[in-house]
Amino acid sequence: MNLIRLAAAVSAAFLLAACGHHEQTAAATPTAAAAPAAAANASPATLKLFQQTCHNCHAVPGTGAPQAGDAQAWAPRLAQGRDTLLDHTINGYKGMPPMGTCTQCTEQDFVALIEYMSGAQLK
């Protein structure tokens, strides 16, 4: 009976440890060095919108979203043009929900956010 209690206690300890708060590794945490090149030109309002609405997908690897500052991931999207990018942003596309998570954003906000994340000006 004591062996069963010991096994249960060890199992519970592992379960609780697995459910605990994990620190992000340096590789998974976006840094200033990884910030998009357009960050220097981004307004404080755009940076705030990015942190509030885009960050959870566009700054977290493995979400399927092109990461902010990843020129290679953004290149084929930028090649589709401004109108297509805005259409996908406003109406949703694949895993991107309509309006992202920024229901209060204007078209100009979306242009600024896309330019910030891609590091390029929309044409």
Q: How many CA atoms lie within 13 A of 90 on its CB side?
A: 13
* Residue 69 belongs to some domain of the structure: yes
9 domain residue, yes or no: no
**pLDDT tens digit at each of 123 positions of the chain:** 565 654 455 444 443 344 444 444 444 434 444 556 656 678 999 999 999 999 999 999 999 999 999 999 999 999 999 999 999 999 999 999 999 999 999 999 999 999 999 999 998
Query: Half-sphere exposure (CA, 13 Å, Cβ side) for 92?
Result: 6
Identify whether 107 is part of a domain.
yes
pTM: 0.70
* Domain presence at residue 1: no
* Residue-range definition of the domain harbouring residue 79: 37-118
In a domain, 6, yes or no: no
Is residue 48 situated within a structural domain?
yes
Number of domains within the chain: 1
In a domain, 52, yes or no: yes
- CATH of residue 111: 1.10.760.10
